[in-house]
Amino acid sequence: MTQTKLTTLEIEVATLFALASSDCCGSFDDNENISYLNAKDLAKDTGYDMNKIGGIMTALINKDLIQDTQDSARGSRYNDFVGCPCVYLQFDELKHLHTDNMDYA
C-alpha cells in the first residue's frame, strides 16, 4: 500500500540509493544493502546544490526512506545515509527497485 505520493525529486534521489546498492553488491533488500551515500555524493550525482539536496533528504527521512548512519565509513566529513529497502516496498513509485521486484530479463 502506498503511504503518500512522492515528488519527482524524491523519486530521483531515492532511486540513487537503490542503484548504489545494486551497483555495489547486486541487491537492494534487507539482507544486502550497501546504499551508502551522503549529501555531497547526491549533489554531485544530481547537479543540485547542497541546500536543495538537504531539503530532498529531509523529505526522504521524514518518510523513513533513508536513515542517517551518524558517521561515514568512507572517512568523509559528511555523514553517510542508507536507503531502507523494506520501506521502498510501500511506495508504488519505488517498489520496483527492491531486489524482490527487479526485472532481470
Over residues 2-6, mean pLDDT: 74
**Per-residue pLDDT band at 101 (split at 50, 70, 90):** confident
Q: If pLDDT is split at 50, 70 and 90, which confidence band does 100 have? A: confident
Kindly state whether residue 27 falls inside one of the protein's structural domains. yes
Give mean pLDDT, residues 60-72. Answer: 96
Identify whether 3 is part of a domain.
Answer: no
The whole domain housing 22 covers 8-101
When divided into structural domains, the chain yields a total of 1
The verdict on residue 78 lying in a domain is yes
Per-residue pLDDT, averaged over 3-28, amounts to: 93
The answer to whether residue 17 is domain-embedded is: yes
3-class DSSP string for 27-49: CCCCCCCCCCECHHHHHHHHCCC
Distance (Å, whole) CA 7 – CA 102: 22
Enter the DSSP assignment of 80: P
CATH number at residue 92: 1.10.10.10
Confidence of residue 3 (pLDDT cuts 50, 70, 90): low
The dihedral sign for the CA sequence 63, 65, 70, 75 = negative
Tell whether pTM > 0.75: yes
In a domain, residue 2? The reply is: no
CA angle (59 as vertex; 26, 77 as ends), nearest 5: 65
Q: Which residue has the higher pLDDT, 42 or 75?
A: 42
- pLDDT of 84: 96
